[in-house]
């Protein structure tokens, strides 16, 4: 456990240093980077993906995997918008939008626990189903008939900090407390580290899996509402590229894809690095589509770095072959 914690701290320090270097370079290359307008825009734009990163971190720490985060984000926004058009009161549509995400999470938990299916396959399938439901409800249209008071939340600042970003910070603090300072959090780490050992230690593994996926669905639903308030509309393709971006950021932040290791703070540092790069691309007039390529390369390296390093060492240790 001590090695894991020291390893986590090393990752956080390195990633923090990377963010500082990126900010230093952007400050030198672009005079508008440190402007209040630009920094507040970065905080707003990263809000929904930061929420998704919190959800994915919790699932990965517990040894699971969730590809439905982006689709659930779109589903909650779609339920919120369509029920408002149907004339339901605001408290009802808000509750049902959040419950929609929890329902998807519980469905994922059921398929993983009861049918003993692989989380990657389960969430890949449910992601397609949920995305199809979103397309069916919206019929390919953008929905902009939404409650004005709710939309105005996207333009509220508290002490010059966007309210939506403060919601993310509050959620992150609660998630960190849950993972680090509660019995439930310790059980999540235990399940991700070794499910069999956790079971023999008295942990209700199946119950914890249901809880983990339900939490992921709930937080992803919040992300959908945040995104809706920010762009003032519900779009069918909301969050369609989020799984790649979020999982890359979470793995960069030190969360192990095999479970039992990771931190919410590291994941948020990963999201910040991604958005600093994107912001830099925009400020410098570079093609932002290159960022997707960079993310793919980084993901391949982070997931396979041990095998890559081992292969390079083996290749270099061979040296020049002697002639027979």
E-strand ranges in 152-249 read 157-158, 161-162
Distance CA 253, CA 271 (A): 8
54 has a pLDDT exceeding 70: yes
> Tell me: the pLDDT tens digits for 164-191?
999 999 999 999 999 999 999 999 999 9
Specify the DSSP class assigned to residue 287. -
Q: How far apart are CA 230 and CA 172, in angstroms?
A: 19
Question: Has residue 68 got a pLDDT over 90?
Answer: yes
Range from 201-215, 228-242, 280-294 carrying the lowest mean pLDDT:
280-294
**CA separation for the pair 269, 253 (Å, rounded):** 6
pTM: 0.89
Residue with tokens 């469905």: 107
For residue 323, name the pLDDT band (cuts at 50, 70, 90). Answer: very low
| CATH number of the domain where residue 237 is located | 1.10.3470
* 213-230 residues labelled b (16+ CB within 10 A) or e (exposed): bbbbbbbbbbbbbbbbbb
Residue 185 burial (CB count, 10 A): 18
324, part of any domain: no
Burial label for 281, CB within 10 Å (0-12, 13-18, 19+), is middle
Rounded average pLDDT over 123-134: 96
Which domain does 120 fall in, by range? Answer: 2-318
Q: How many domains does the chain have?
A: 1
Cβ atoms < 10 Å from Cβ of 297 = 11
pLDDT the model gives residue 302: 62
- Strands, E assignment, the chain: 157-158, 161-162
Question: Does 323 fall in a domain?
Answer: no
Q: How far apart are the first and last CA of the chain?
A: 50
C-alpha gyration radius of the chain:
21
């Amino acid at each position: 456990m001590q090695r894991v914690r020291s390893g986590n701290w090393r990752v956080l320090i390195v990633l923090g240093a990377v963010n500082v270097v990126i900010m230093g370079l952007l400050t030198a290359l672009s005079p508008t980077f440190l402007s209040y307008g630009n920094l507040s825009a970065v905080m707003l734009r990263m809000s929904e993906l930061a929420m998704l990163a919190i959800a994915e971190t919790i699932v990965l720490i517990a040894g699971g995997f969730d590809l439905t985060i982006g689709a659930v984000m779109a589903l909650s926004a779609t339920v919120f918008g369509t029920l408002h058009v149907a004339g339901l009161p605001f408290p009802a549509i808000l509750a049902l939008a959040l419950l929609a995400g929890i329902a998807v999470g519980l469905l994922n938990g059921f398929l993983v626990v009861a049918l003993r299916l692989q989380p990657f396959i389960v969430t890949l399938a449910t992601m397609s189903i949920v995305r199809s439901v979103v397309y069916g409800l919206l019929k390919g249209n953008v929905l902009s008939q939404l409650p004005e008071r709710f939309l105005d939340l996207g333009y509220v600042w508290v002490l010059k900090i966007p309210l939506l970003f403060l919601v993310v910070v509050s959620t992150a603090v609660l998630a960190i407390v849950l993972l680090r300072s509660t019995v439930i959090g310790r059980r999540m780490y235990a399940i991700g580290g070794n499910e069999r050992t956790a079971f023999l230690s008295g942990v209700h593994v199946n119950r914890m899996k249901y809880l983990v996926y339900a939490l992921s669905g709930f937080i992803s639903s919040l992300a959908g509402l945040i995104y809706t308030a920010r762009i003032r509309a519900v779009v069918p393709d909301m969050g369609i590229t989020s799984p790649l971006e979020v999982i890359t950021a979470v793995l960069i932040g030190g969360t192990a894809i095999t479970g039992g290791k990771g931190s919410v703070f590291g994941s948020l540092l990963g999201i910040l690095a991604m958005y600093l790069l994107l912001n830099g691309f925009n400020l410098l007039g570079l093609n932002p589509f290159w960022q997707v390529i960079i993310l793919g390369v980084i993901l391949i390296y982070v997931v396979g770095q041990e095998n890559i390093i081992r292969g390079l060492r083996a290749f270099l240790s061979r040296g020049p072959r002697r002639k027979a």
